[in-house]
Structure 1
Amino acid sequence: MRKLPPLKAIKIFEAAARHESLTLAAGELNVSVSAVSQQIRILEAYFQKPLFAKQGRALKLTPPARAYLEDIRACLDRLALASEQMAGSHKNAAIRVNTTPSFAMRWLIPNLPSFQRKHPQTEVNIVTSPLDSIDDLHNSFDIVIRRDQMERTGHECHKFLDDIMIAVASPKLPGIEHITSAKSLKKSGKLLHLKSRSDAWARWLKNANISAPQTLTGQYFDHFFLSLQAAINGLGIALAPRVLVSDDIAQGQLVQLCREHTLEGPGFHCLFREDTQSDRTTAPFLQWLINDEDETTTG
């Protein structure tokens, strides 16, 4: 028999912790503030430790309570999803995937039809986050995809795509016919940079045995897809993961320069709960993502 804490108190604690306010939690749950306080006290008595600490007028979670919140959020999200599926079994099963806008646009969405052909009853809901960091990302996502390794308690992380950076430009870039080597590429003065990876060109040039300062001249962009669009429009030369630009190269919108020189990145990784591989809805998607290389574009 499972030993569970008071479930009513858990629900109220989650709302109070999310808002960091007893008043807002009471309003959301349509109960009195005193009722919220009472349930918090019940839970604190159960664990024999405080869950909140006051900082002036603000209510802050204790570190153990914050870690506990992440776990129960995941449990409540799973319970809600299971209940929705039970209540409406005629509806499609759903998977929630969080990734960056660039990866969603340039790889996941173009390749997704190969998964949907095999699993037409599974809905894949893609939610994008502008940042690579997952520190503030809640646990309601079944799979998180980032261009780097990730760590989270109770989760596994797998690399599923190589990250080989190549130099690309529009075939209509003025003066492209003179860019025949890494040295002439550096001298072109047409490098496009990504702010979050501002040293990428310096590392690419180092791999090509060309000395370069950490910071190089050229336009800097907030997002990868902006630097890539600038390259497609003939504004300069971008560094891009081969797997994200293979279609553009095949269609003639971009050409690879200095083919003998590349820069290897950390790879594209997926993060998922340890029990995901036994989940009937999510496991097939995970298998497709990690193993079905013959049906996806890996460059």
Structure 2
Amino acid sequence: MRHLNAFYIFNTVAHSSSYSQAASRLNITHGAVSKQIATLEDYLQQKLFVKRGRKMCLTKEGAILASYTNQAFDYLSSAVTRLEQEKQQCLNISCEPTLSMRWLMPRLTDFQDKFNTEIRLSTAGGNVDLASAGLSMAIRRNDFTVNSNYNIIDLGDEWVGPVLSPEYWRQIEGNLMYATLIHSDTRLNAWADWFREADVARPTPSKQRSFGHFYFSIQAAIDSLGTVVGSYPLIMDEVKRGNLIAPYGFIKSGYRYVLLTKNHCLEERETQFVNWLVEQFSFCSPDLNYRPA
């Protein structure tokens, strides 16, 4: 294909605020970027960018082309990732940090033993660019708008409820009104949402304690520093061990856990992981008749 390098540079500029920013990303000069864009515009006989202030903005024709070049280079990146995985027999999976540490990692040995496939796990939450991150799939809570180019595989409802240590439950004499409410910066509305949905009166004033990450909030509850609204997969093992109890049970949060994959036919290893993950999540619904001992 003629001018493939120019198309690649165009795609980078289309996702940058200026030629200078694109040049920095590509590690080439501003002049080299301008020259390649001019070459492409001459080849296509179309104006692709227009300058507005300090920004280079796509024209209507440029926007149409960008939608296709973005897909094309995403597919190319996906192909390279798949070739690397074929060589290394591995899958690159992204998962939300606390879900990774509290739920997925303790179970990965089961998958690796069954299918002889290495899982390379990275942690992140929210939106994700699978292609640019070199990822096969991403496990997420669906609290953001998902890229329309991805397949969404449903894993199940998120169930939430206040959890605390048995010792702390005794300290507050089984009364939430005396409890310290633990918050996480990553789930700021967890308590407000739970009080509303569970139709439970909120203590006023209530004692508060905050942590920067959900993982620390759960650990604080285990250490009897208060009570936190826990998501069931993240605390289910600690409940089963008796380190945490859920005296108010669990309710649906309104969110779901999902697996995001690229929009292509899954290879055998990917299919094996999807099926295994769906099976594992099938055990992540709480016993609605649960009552702490």
State the one-letter code of the partner of 1:234: S
Cα deviations by residue, 1:41-83 (Å, 9 ceiling, x for unpaired): 3333455544444455555666556644542441231232245
When normalised by structure 2's length, the TM-score is 0.77
User: What residue is the counterpart of 1:271 in the other structure?
Assistant: 260
- Does the CA contact (< 8 Å) of 1:5 and 1:46 recur in 2? no
| Identity among equivalent pairs (%) | 29
Matched, 1:97 2:86: no
Cα offset, 1:190, TM superposition? 1.2
Q: Cα distance 1:216–1:157, how it changes in 2: closer, same or farther (>3 A)?
A: farther
Cα offset, 1:156, TM superposition? 1.8
- Structure 2 spans left out of the alignment, 5+ residues: 287-293
When normalised by structure 1's length, the TM-score is 0.76
Matched, 1:173 2:161: no
- Does the CA contact (< 8 Å) of 2:95 and 2:140 recur in 1? yes
- Does the CA contact (< 8 Å) of 1:160 and 1:267 recur in 2? yes
Cα offset, 1:234, TM superposition? 0.8
Q: Cα distance 1:262–1:30, how it changes in 2: closer, same or farther (>3 A)?
A: closer
Q: What RMSD over aligned residues (CA atoms) do the two structures have, in Å?
A: 3.6
SS in 1 for 2:122: strand
SS in 1 for 2:119: strand
Alignment of 1:1-299 (within 5 A): 6-16=3-13, 34-45=31-42, 48-57=45-54, 59=56, 64=64, 67-68=67-68, 70-84=70-84, 91-120=87-116, 122-129=117-124, 131-134=125-128, 138=132, 140-148=134-142, 150-173=145-168, 175-176=170-171, 178-179=173-174, 184-185=175-176, 187-212=177-202, 217-259=207-249, 262-277=251-266, 279-291=267-279
Cα offset, 1:226, TM superposition? 1.5
- Does the CA contact (< 8 Å) of 2:187 and 2:214 recur in 1? no
Cα offset, 1:264, TM superposition? 3.1
Cα offset, 1:99, TM superposition? 2.3
State the one-letter code of the partner of 1:111: R
The aligned length equals 282
Cα deviations by residue, 1:167-205 (Å, 9 ceiling, x for unpaired): 1111222744611xxxx31x1141112334333223323
